[in-house]
Amino acid sequence: MWLSWGVYEGLLFVYLSLSLSLSLPPSFLLFPLSLFLEARKAKNRPIFGLPASSTTLLPKNRPIFGLFGLQKVSRWGNRQGRSTLDILYNFANCSNLHLIFGLNALLRKGRTQWDSSNAQQILNYTNSQDYILSWELGNEPNSFLHKSGIEVSGYQLGQDFVQLRQLLNNYIHYKNAKIYGPDLGRSSRKHSKILLKSFLKSGGKVLDSVTWHHYYINGRTATREDFLNPDILDSFKTNAEEVLEIVNSTVPDKSVWLGETSSAFGGGTPSLSNAYIAGFMWLDKLGLSAQLGIDLVMRQVLYGAGNYQLVDANFEPLPDYWLSLLYKKLVGSTVLHVAVTGLDPKKLRVYLHCTNTHHPKYREGDITLFALNLYNTTKHLYIPTYFSKKQIDEYLLLPYGEDNLLSRSVQLNGYLLKMPSDETLPILQENPLIPGHSLDLPGFSYGFYVIRNAKVLACI
């Protein structure tokens, strides 16, 4: 899988079909990665080099959000905009990152057609500098009216994306540039579904991937029990299948990305979204996404505002960071069928993949099982007889310290995970199990199990 993030709200991309390594800033320059930049709230609209005399329509009494904070439009000149973009691109380039830039969709001509003049200023400059970028247009169009007082229909937004494609075709560096969208939010709501279908019929042909957002619950009201509720975990599958059905019925064969996701919307839930307990939602979502054929998952957030960060204010990794790292290292792209008998599969959730063969200890034919135990007691998994004599490496993640499920520290096979230095990841040491031994998952825990020398044909 690929891991990457945005500079504003730290989006973490998890490509389920590829792989790489990730460390922490300043040593996160292990590639390949993508850096994503966009004003992630509809009310935040970055303007690039917009003159004070511009007639571009903007809602009254709303500030323009520039890359260095709130700015009056008259102060957001070419020089500052260009220097900001230079810093961003040079950072991405020297880090072997690919930059995906989110353009402002709320600049309109008479509240209808997209005003692309500001986008052209950006494109003129980035093309002249030989900057290689991918593009998005807007964010959560279902909320445009509520958050910004501007209503854009699905049909019109689709036409705006067609306009963007035509605009990109005029530039030597962007004729083949990728376009992603529409970053739909609240996908379970009827209005959002109607908007998505209309958008795809109008402009879906120009997309390289269809993007949507998902959060399980409201971060302001969520409880500890919600994070362990199998019905809430299952709600993601329902939402995803609805989105996939719309995509398949309008633009068949288009890839689908989960363009923004975490546990709870509204910034997450204090003391829950950044604790061990949040890993149940995160790991289950990764497993289900791969099963359903979602090509990319973008995690909210690596670092920044809210309560769902992967690293804290001191750049110390939180539990979901370690979970993401283990997933990356152990889980390959090929999904295998697995079934649980004798226990409720909603409470003992099991996924099976070919092992990531980029891991130095493992080879083609090995398989990785990962499981979540939502029971409050230890459960024992017994693998098929065929594998009973195979070596199995256990990677069991448990909370560290007295806070238990609310802990912000995690242990792997009994050892606390922490960075030895700012530039060094710890050794993720496996626990070899005795051949024929059951896989024992304590109550409310999750872990990975690599079956070595499994010789599964689908993984060779």
Q: Active-site residues: which are they?
A: 140, 260
Cis amide prior to 63 (ω within 30 degrees) = no
Contact 5, 23 (CB under 8 A): no
Read off φ and ψ for residue 152, nearest 5 degrees.
-125, 120
> How many angstroms separate the CA atoms of 8 and 40, rounded?
8
Contacts of 94 (CB under 8 A, 6+ apart): 29
Q: Which of 173, 150, 149 minimizes the C-alpha distance to 101?
A: 173
Contact 309, 263 (CB under 8 A): no
Cis amide prior to 141 (ω within 30 degrees) = no
Q: Which of 69, 74, 97, 73 minimizes the C-alpha distance to 84?
A: 69
The angle at the Cα of 132, spanning 127 to 138, to the nearest 5 degrees, equals: 85
Q: Please say whether the dihedral angle defined by the alpha carbons of residues 104, 208, 294 and 241, taken in this order, is positive or negative.
A: positive
Contact 355, 328 (CB under 8 A): no
Cis amide prior to 243 (ω within 30 degrees) = no
Q: Where are the alpha helices (DSSP H) in 116-229?
A: 117-128, 144-148, 154-168, 190-203, 224-227
> How many angstroms separate the CA atoms of 123 and 379, rounded?
56
CB neighbour burial string for 184-196, b if at least 16 within 10 angstroms, e if fewer: bbbbeeeebbebb
DSSP state of 199: H
**H/E element holding 368?**
strand 367-373
Residues in a beta bridge with 336: 352
> How many angstroms separate the CA atoms of 105 and 158, rounded?
11
* Other CB atoms within 10 Å distance of the CB of residue 460: 12
Q: Which of 392, 377, 310, 379 minimizes the C-alpha distance to 350?
A: 379
Residue 200 Ramachandran class (φ > 0 left, ψ -120 to 50 alpha, else beta): alpha
